Structures are given as structure tokens and as C-alpha cells.
């Protein structure tokens, strides 16, 4: 019997494949008394051997697909497994206490984990995480259960998980992972955003997928309508295969616009740019006809690893993007860590409200070594293309002034060291905190541009967590309160002769596009795959007609009225 689970369509397209559950198995260990010490020690050594074999395979595969850097973590795990300081005490404990291997291992490992965690040294703290991971792996073998490991998938699957972190998502192998679905999350969670740039169909916020979908059953992910079909009938499979063919045909029509400019029916040009997370994403930007990069989320360079990237590594990444974009504008956002994007190795204290906490520019102004190294890398790369630098989460003018002053200090240092730095770099801010939107007229005097980050601006204006599907009803991009803020920001920019863009997901939304065109937005930055449909839509719209509705829309009182007006007229 097939069932349909409703979720939030996070990345378009249709995928049909077997489910792969990414759920941690129950690794609870119980203490047992053991009479035959030798055979228990043999059981322990053979679990270690299997774990080592597994880690060697994962290390080789990671090395091949993601580079040595990412594989280093598994090399560290292998070292832990060969360390007599861990192995010998476990064997001693099995003998002296007559206990089972998993219990002895857990006791010894916990002692080391506590010891390393209480040390001040960052490097030592990271060792605690290594021991925890390795212990889990060995215990899973002793208990005879398997830990899901997406890097080792070798057939086409749809991942089913409670949640995926952005770094889990970054590690998904596009060749085999055809789609994913999660219990939690919203359209603007970063795993959803990444699914769009990786062009993997995804449904998030589907609440019950981990309880309703068993491992290995056939699942359809309909990323167009937000449906997950479990155990589909032959008829349903045929129906969705047809839907996929229709969608592919539609994409082929859009693809014809790849080399065109984005010009409305009454000759008004707007720029359609793309949001990227890694230098590899540039390929998708060019393939989809992006006129620039409107948001490079640099934090992904800092994730999925166990230490900060060096200035040199960053320089290479920024230079690569600028060169590949060949003179087209590239807006690079400085580190925006926090919220749903964590960096475990920074070991920041847990916060009650991470989206309102010590993050992004707040952290960079405090941890200036991290910030300065990024700015230097950016400044050095600036001569390779058309770089614009933007600061995230600016709430006050003072934060912007401080960030800009640090940027100029680093620029002066580089110049005095004899390095070339472009003097054409525009410096702007994300407008994603209501205080900044309200005070946009003051900011506009000092910045070169604005990029409106509606993903956060909406959550802060409506006080509705963007990750929380239970308050998703309040997450309303077309609410007149949001539209008024957006309009204020655009008007403030234009008054000072500056440009205003938008890099929140709203910029690529077909209902929002006529509204934003009418409000005068200059640059729309979106997931690369949304560019061609947006271009096709804008070419059919008249800018002056969209503008003629501006006052009426801004004086409306509900989302429903706005949506009805758009549907009726555009
Ligand atoms: C935003 O907040 O709109 C934005 C583009 O940034 P992020 O999604 O990375 O928070
Ligand atoms: Mg944001």
C-alpha cells in the first residue's frame, strides 16, 4: 500500500529510488559478566580490525572524492584505533573486571573523552571528538548493528533523515544520492538551500518520514509539489516518470535563455545572479546563465573540516571563483557562522537562541584573527575579477564602520607589503535585521550597495524561526510588513545613487518576482537553478505595469490580498 507524506518542497525535480535511512542505531551498552576472557578479547580485537578496514575504505574514498584535507579526519580515527593507550586498558578491564568488551570500551573511552574535553588546548579537545566517533564505530560492530555512512553508498538512493546539517549535505555524493527528505527544516534551512545548488530534489519539514519510511523501500520525492510517496504502485511510478519528463522538457525550453540578458517586456534590465557555497558551484551558475554571483556564502569553506582554513586556502578559493566568473560581479559575504551553521572546532558555547546569538559579524569583530585572515585573502584575490565584499548580520552602523575600518587596515598592510589590491572593490551589507532595514536611509550614505537577506529578515520581522516547520505559517515573504521593509531599503539605496539586490530565497520566487520588479529591485540573486525560469518570467512582465501596483500593494494588510493581486494581474 502506498502512502503520501506532505512536506515542504525545498528543491525542485522528481526522484525515484530506494530509501536510505540516516538514523543512528541504538548503541546502548549493557554491562554483562564474562567468564571466557580470551574469547571476549578476541571479539574486541576483531571489532577493532573491522572498524579499521571500514575506516581505510572511507578514507580512500574521501581522499579521492573530496581531497586529502577532508580525509585527514579518518586518518586521525585510524590512529586512535591503533593506540595502545586506549586498547590495552580495555583488554585489562575485560580481564580484571570480567566484563563484556563493549562495556569495558565505553568505560575507558569515557574516561579519555572527559580528560580531553576538560583541557584548554583546542587540539586536545578535538581528540575527544575523535575518540567518541571511533568508539561508536567499534561498539556498533560489537553489537552487530550498522552505522549509516552516506559516503559509502554505491547505488542510487533517497536519503531519509530526521535532519541533515549543512556539512552532512555537502558530503552527499551527487552520483548516488538522488534526493532527500527530512522530518524537520524549512525552505530556507541551509540544507534546503544546498540541495537546490546541488540540483538534488528535496522535501524538508515532512515531520514523520523517519517513522513512516523503512530502509530500502521505493520512495518518490516530488520536489515540485512537496510530496513524498512511499511504496508507490506501478501506476504511480509511471505517473511520476511522466511528470519528470514534463519537467525536463520545461527545463529544456528555459535553457534556450542561457545567453540572454534579463530584460522586461518594456526594456528594463535587471541582473539575475546566483547564490553559491563553493567554487565548484560556479559551474552551475554559468550553465544556468547567471549574470554574476550575488552571494558567495564563504562559511562552507570553514565547514566539514576540523580546523580553520588558512589564508592561502581561502585566497585560492576566492581567486578561483573570480577567475571563473571572468569579470562578472562576485559578491563575497564574509564569514556568517552561527544559526544552523556550526563550526564544532571553534568550540563556541551552546546558546539558547543561536539565530539571535554570537554569530556572523558579531563573532568576526570579536575574533579578529579569523576575520582579518579572510579579509586579507579576499583583498589579495581582488585583482582577479570584479569583487564586491559584503558583511552579514549588520544591526548597527557602528558594526559596519568597524568592519570597514578593519578591511581598510588590512588593505593598507597588504599595500605596504608590496601586494596588489584592486581599488574598485565595492563594500556593502546584508540587510537581514529589521533595525538595518528601518534605518536604511542612514546606511545608504555609507555603503556601496545593499543585499536584502529575506531568509533572516522574514524570521526576525515575524519572529518565526526559519527552521521550525510548526511556525512555517508565519514565514510569509509576501506579507505587506516585509514588502514595506524591502521597499524602504530599495528607495533608500536609490536616493543615494546606490544599488539594491536581494539574495534571500524570495528573489527567485515566482510570486515575489513581479512584486520585487515593481518595487525597483536592481539585482535578484537566487539558487542557480531558479535563474532561467525567473528570466523567462521577467521577459514577459512589464516593469511599468508592476510599478503601477506598488502603492496599492504597500497599503494592503494581509499576505492573501497580495497573493490574490499577483495571481490576478501577472
Ligand atoms: C538571508 O538571510 O536571506 C541570506 C541570504 O543569508 P543566509 O540564508 O545564509 O542566512
Ligand atoms: Mg542570513
Q: What is the CATH number of domain 37-143?
A: 1.10.274.10
What is the whole-number distance in angstroms between the Cα of residue 479 and the centre of ligand 1? 18
d(CA 157, CA 494): 49
Predicted confidence band of residue 117 (pLDDT cuts 50, 70, 90): confident
Q: How far is the CA of 371 from the centre of ligand 2 (A)?
A: 18
Q: Quote the ligand 2 centre to 299 CA distance (angstroms).
A: 12
Nearest to 303 by CA among 258, 338, 256: 338
Grade residue 125 by pLDDT with cuts at 50, 70 and 90. confident
Sign of CA dihedral 472, 478, 481, 485: positive
Mean pLDDT of 322-327: 98
pLDDT at 121: 73
Which DSSP letter does residue 302 get?
G
* Least confident window among 180-194, 273-287, 399-413: 180-194
Classify residue 551 as exposed, middle or buried by CB count within 10 Å of its CB (0-12, 13-18, 19+).
exposed
Q: How far apart are CA 52 and CA 74, in angstroms?
A: 10
Give the pLDDT of residue 35. Answer: 94
Q: Give the per-residue pLDDT at 66.
A: 65
User: 436 CB under 6 A from ligand 1?
Assistant: no
pLDDT of residue 197: 81
- Collapsing DSSP states into helix, strand and coil, what is residue 174? coil
* Closest ligand relative to 191 C-alpha: 1
Burial (Cβ within 10 Å: 0-12, 13-18, ≥19) of residue 55: buried
Where in the sequence numbering do the catalytic residues fall?
190, 503
Nearest ligand to the CA atom of 451: 1
pLDDT of residue 341: 87
Residue 481, pLDDT > 80, answer: yes
> pLDDT over 90 for what percent of the chain?
79
pLDDT digits (tens, 9 = 90+) for 415-432: 999 999 999 999 999 999
pLDDT in tens, 204-237: 999 999 999 999 999 999 999 999 999 999 999 9
- Looking from the CA of residue 454, the nearest atom of ligand 1 is 3
Domain 3-23+157-252, second-level architecture: 3-Layer(bba) Sandwich (3.50)
* Residue 438: closest CA among 477, 491, 363: 491
User: Which residue's CA is the closest to the ligand 1 atom numbered 7?
Assistant: 455
* pLDDT at 387 > cutoff 90: yes
What's the Cα-to-Cα distance from 164 to each of 129, 180, 190, 311, rounded to whole Å?
19, 9, 9, 29
First to last CA, the chain: 41
Verify whether ligand 1 is closer than 6 Å to residue 298 (CB atom). Answer: no
Contacts of 342 (CB under 8 A, 6+ apart): 165
193, pLDDT greater than 90: no
Residues 50-82: pLDDT tens digits?
Answer: 999 988 988 887 787 767 776 787 888 899 999
Contact 139, 26 (CB under 8 A): no
CA distance 116 to 136: 17
Secondary structure of 13-62 as H, E, C letters:
CEEEEEEEECCCCCCCCCCCECCCHHHHHHHHHHHHHHHHHHHHHHHHHH
Q: Please state at what angle helix 84-97 crosses helix 101-117, rounded to 10 degrees.
A: 130
Measured by CA distance, the residue closest to atom 8 of ligand 1 is: 455
Determine whether 249 is exposed, middle or buried from the number of CB atoms within 10 Å of its CB (0-12, 13-18, 19+). exposed
- Determine the residue of 430, 457, 466, 530 to mutate for testing ligand 1's pocket, defined as the one with the most ligand atoms within 8 A of the Cβ atom: 430
Q: What is the DSSP string of 195-233?
A: HHHHT--EEE--SSHHHH--TT-EEEEETTTTEEEES--
Q: Among 15-19, 55-59, 523-527, name the one with the lowest average pLDDT.
A: 55-59
C-alpha span between 304 and 299 (Å, rounded):
10
pLDDT category of residue 198 using cuts at 50, 70 and 90: confident
- 105 band by pLDDT with thresholds 50, 70 and 90: very high
Pairing of strands 386-391, 8-11: unpaired
**DSSP-derived secondary structure for 467-491:** T-GGGGGG--TT-HHHHHHHHHHHH
Would the pLDDT of 166 be above 80? no
pLDDT tens profile 325-375: 999 999 999 999 988 888 888 888 889 999 999 999 999 999 999 999 999
**What is the DSSP secondary structure assignment for residue 176, as one 8-state letter?**
T
Q: Does ligand 1 lie within 6 Å of residue 169's CB atom?
A: no
Which whole number is the average pLDDT over 103-120? 90
Q: Indicate if ligand 1 lies below 6 Å from the C-beta of 454.
A: yes
The answer, yes or no, to whether residue 490 has pLDDT greater than 80, is yes
Q: Residue 360 Cα, ligand 2 centroid: separation in angstroms?
A: 9
- Provide mean pLDDT across the span 135-163: 89
Three cell numbers written together for 254: 528555459
**CB 467, CB 488: distance < 8 Å:** no
Rounded to the nearest whole angstrom, what is the distance from the C-alpha of residue 551 to the centroid of ligand 1?
Answer: 27
Which residue has the least CA distance to atom 4 on ligand 1? 453
CB 210 within 8 A of CB 184: no
- Residue 455 Cβ inside 6 Å of ligand 1? The answer reads yes
Count CB atoms within 10 A of the CB of residue 547.
15
Query: For residue 504, what pLDDT band results from cuts at 50, 70 and 90?
Result: very high
Pocket test for ligand 1, best of 190, 503, 508, 509 (most atoms within 8 A of CB): 503
| Positive or negative: CA dihedral 3, 4, 7, 12 | positive
Average pLDDT over residues 382-398: 98
For a substitution probing ligand 1, which of 489, 504, 523 has the most ligand atoms within 8 Å of its CB?
Answer: 504
Q: Each residue of 265-321: pLDDT tens digit? A: 999 999 999 999 999 899 999 999 999 999 999 998 998 787 899 999 999 999 999
Q: How far is the CA of 544 from the centre of ligand 1 (A)?
A: 29
Q: How many CB atoms lie within 10 A of CB 31?
A: 12
- What percentage of the chain reaches a pLDDT higher than 70? 99
pLDDT band at residue 411 using 50, 70 and 90 as cut-offs: very high
CB 62 near ligand 1, within 6 Å: no
Ligand 1 mean position, distance from CA 335 (Å)? 12
- As residues whose CB is below 5 A from the ion ligand 2, the structure lists 432, 453, 456
- Pocket probe for ligand 1: among 342, 432, 523, the residue whose CB has the most ligand atoms within 8 Å is 432
| Average pLDDT value for residue range 72-98 | 92
Q: Where are the domains of the chain?
A: 3-23+157-252, 37-143, 262-542
170-189 average pLDDT score: 89
| Average pLDDT value over all residues in the chain | 93
Whether the pLDDT of residue 408 is over 90: the answer is yes
User: 299: Cβ below 6 Å to ligand 1?
Assistant: no
Are 383 and 320 a contacting pair, CB within 8 Å?
no
CATH 3.20.20.60 matches 262-542: yes
Distance CA 251, CA 275 (A): 19
Report whether residue 465 contacts ligand 1, using a CB cutoff of 6 Å. no
- Taking the CB of residue 346, how many other CB atoms lie within 10 A of it? 15
Amino acid at each position: 500500500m502506498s502512502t503520501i507524506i506532505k512536506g515542504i518542497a525545498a528543491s525542485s525535480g522528481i526522484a525515484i529510488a530506494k530509501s536510505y535511512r540516516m538514523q543512528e542505531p541504538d548503541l546502548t551498552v549493557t554491562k554483562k559478566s564474562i567468564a571466557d576472557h580470551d574469547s571476549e578479547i578476541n571479539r574486541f580485537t576483531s571489532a577493532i580490525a573491522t572498524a579499521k578496514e571500514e575506516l581505510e575504505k572511507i578514507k580512500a574514498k574521501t581522499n579521492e572524492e573530496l581531497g586529502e584535507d577532508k580525509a585527514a579526519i579518518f586518518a586521525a580515527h585510524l590512529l586512535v584505533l591503533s593506540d595502545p593507550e586506549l586498547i590495552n586498558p580495555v583488554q585489562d578491564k575485560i580481564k580484571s573486571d570480567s566484563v563484556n568488551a563493549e562495556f569495558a570500551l565505553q568505560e575507558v573511552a569515557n574516561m579519555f573523552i572527559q580528560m580531553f574535553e576538560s583541557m584548554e588546548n583546542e587540539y586536545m579537545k578535538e581528540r575527544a571528538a575523535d575518540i567518541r566517533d571511533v568508539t561508536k564505530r567499534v561498539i556498533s560492530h560489537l553489537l552487530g548493528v550498522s552505522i549509516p555512512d552516506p559516503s559509502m553508498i554505491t547505488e542510487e538512493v533517497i536519503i531519509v533523515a530526521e535532519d541533515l546539517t549543512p556539512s552532512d549535505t555537502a558530503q552527499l555524493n551527487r552520483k548516488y544520492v538522488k534526493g532527500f527528505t527530512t522530518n524537520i527544516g524549512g525552505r530556507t534551512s541551509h540544507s534546503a538551500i544546498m540541495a537546490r545548488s546541488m540540483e538534488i530534489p528535496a522535501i524538508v519539514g515532512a515531520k514523520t518520514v523517519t517513522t513512516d519510511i523503512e530502509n530500502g523501500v521505493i520512495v518518490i520525492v516530488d520536489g515540485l509539489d512537496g510530496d513524498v510517496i512511499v511504496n508507490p504502485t506501478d501506476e504511480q511510478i509511471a505517473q511520476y516518470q511522466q511528470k519528470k519528463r514534463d519537467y525536463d522538457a520545461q527545463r529544456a525550453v528555459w535553457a534556450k535563455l542561457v545567453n540572454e540578458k534579463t530584460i522586461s517586456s518594456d526594456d528594463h534590465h535587471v541582473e539575475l545572479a546566483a547564490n553559491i557555497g563553493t567554487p565548484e558551484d560556479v559551474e552551475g551558475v554559468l550553465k544556468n546563465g547567471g549574470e554574476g554571483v550575488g552571494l558567495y556564502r564563504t562559511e562552507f569553506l570553514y565547514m566539514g573540516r576540523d580546523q580553520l582554513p588558512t589564508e592561502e586556502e581561502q585566497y585560492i578559493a576566492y581567486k578561483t571563483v573570480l577567475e571563473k566568473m571572468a569579470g562578472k560581479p562576485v559578491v563575497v559575504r564574509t564569514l556568517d557562522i552561527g544559526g544552523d551553521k556550526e563550526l564544532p572546532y571553534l568550540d563556541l558555547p551552546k546558546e539558547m537562541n543561536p539565530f539571535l546569538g554570537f554569530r556572523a559579524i558579531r563573532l568576526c569583530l570579536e575574533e579578529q584573527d579569523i576575520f582579518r585572515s579572510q579579509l586579507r585573502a579576499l583583498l589579495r584575490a581582488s585583482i582577479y575579477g570584479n569583487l564586491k565584499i559584503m558583511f552579514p548580520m549588520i544591526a548597527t552602523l557602528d558594526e559596519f564602520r568597524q568592519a570597514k575600518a578593519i578591511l581598510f587596515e588590512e588593505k593598507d598592510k597588504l599595500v605596504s607589503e608590496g601586494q596588489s589590491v584592486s581599488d574598485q572593490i565595492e563594500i556593502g551589507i546584508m540587510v537581514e535585521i529589521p533595525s538595518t532595514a528601518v534605518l536604511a536611509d542612514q546606511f545608504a550614505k555609507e555603503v556601496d550597495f545593499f543585499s536584502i537577506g529575506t531568509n533572516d529578515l522574514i524570521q526576525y520581522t515575524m519572529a518565526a524561526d526559519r527552521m521550525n516547520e510548526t511556525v512555517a505559517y508565519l514565514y510569509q515573504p509576501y506579507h505587506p510588513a516585509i514588502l514595506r521593509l524591502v521597499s524602504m531599503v530599495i528607495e533608500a539605496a536609490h536616493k543615494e545613487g546606490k544599488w539594491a539586490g536581494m539574495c534571500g530565497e524570495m528573489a527567485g520566487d515566482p510570486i515575489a518576482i513581479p512584486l520585487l520588479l515593481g518595487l525597483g529591485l536592481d539585482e535578484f540573486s537566487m539558487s542557480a537553478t531558479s535563474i532561467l525560469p525567473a528570466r523567462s518570467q521577467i521577459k514577459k512582465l512589464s516593469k511599468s505595469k508592476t510599478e503601477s501596483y506598488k502603492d496599492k500593494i504597500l497599503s494592503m494588510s494581509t499576505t492573501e490580498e497580495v497573493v490574490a493581486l499577483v495571481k490576478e494581474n501577472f
